[in-house]
């Protein structure tokens, strides 16, 4: 067959190959995406293979308490909740009440609603309240919301972490727009670039950034709190 040039068709082919091997068909998640689209929410959920990786990472971390920033329709929320043991808890933060309502329906139908508390409002404000209330630290944290807020979110979630907490960040390559030297990066690209540089040098973190193949190339970070 030989080496193929890297293009969108090849990226799609690789993604389909991985999903076919490692991501079992899931009616609850398929319906989640349909209902999310029907409600007019943007199609920006994590990819199935990305969600599978997060599920495995949360299991490996032995997570009993999970924090998610950015609920949308509850797709990644469902996968993370499935990684929890009996008695576990997932707190997910969502800006818009209408999105939270779609997510609640999806989570309950998937049978994981009892694990999940959705808190509606600006994530930065909610995190400040959680810090002030000295909430119990989380074992696993997923950041997937407003990209311009990522640096602020990281500084906040570190106050809700303990040694060994795993922190995941999403959408960190943006098809190259986040890389220094890219042409006309937007606010979101600049936001994640600052986040990438922070996790790379933060004294409390050990981190890596992985490229993620979708229709375009994106990235996901994995950090562990020292």
What CATH number should be reported for the domain whose range is 8-225?
Answer: 3.40.50.150
Q: Which residue shows structure tokens 């068709």?
A: 9
Sheet with 65-69: list strands edge to edge: 116-120, 89-94, 65-69, 138-143, 161-170, 217-225, 205-213
**Which tens digit of pLDDT belongs to each residue from 39-71?**
777 777 788 889 999 999 999 999 999 999 999
pLDDT by residue (tens digit) across 170-199? 999 998 999 998 988 999 999 999 999 999
pTM score: 0.93
């Amino acid at each position: 067959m030989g080496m193929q040039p890297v293009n969108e068709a090849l990226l799609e082919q690789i993604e389909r190959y991985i999903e076919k091997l490692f991501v079992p068909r899931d009616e609850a998640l398929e319906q989640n995406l349909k209902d999310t689209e029907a409600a007019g929410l943007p199609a920006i959920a994590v990819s199935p293979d990305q969600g599978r990786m997060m599920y495995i990472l949360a299991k490996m971390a032995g997570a009993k308490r999970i924090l998610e920033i950015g609920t949308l329709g509850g797709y990644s929320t469902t996968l993370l909740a499935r990684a929890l043991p009996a008695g576990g808890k997932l707190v997910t933060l969502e800006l818009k009440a209408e999105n939270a309502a779609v997510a609640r329906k999806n989570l309950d139908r998937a049978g994981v609603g009892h694990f999940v508390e959705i808190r509606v409002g600006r994530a930065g404000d909610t995190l400040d309240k959680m810090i002030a209330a000295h909430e119990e630290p989380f074992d696993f944290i997923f950041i997937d919301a407003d990209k311009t807020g990522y640096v602020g979110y990281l500084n906040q979630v570190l106050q809700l972490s303990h040694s060994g907490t795993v922190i995941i960040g999403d959408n960190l390559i943006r098809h190259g727009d986040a890389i220094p030297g890219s042409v006309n990066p937007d606010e979101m690209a600049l936001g994640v670039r600052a986040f990438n540089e922070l996790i790379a040098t933060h004294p409390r973190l050990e981190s890596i950034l992985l490229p993620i193949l979708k229709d375009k190339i994106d990235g996901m970070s994995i950090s562990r709190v020292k």
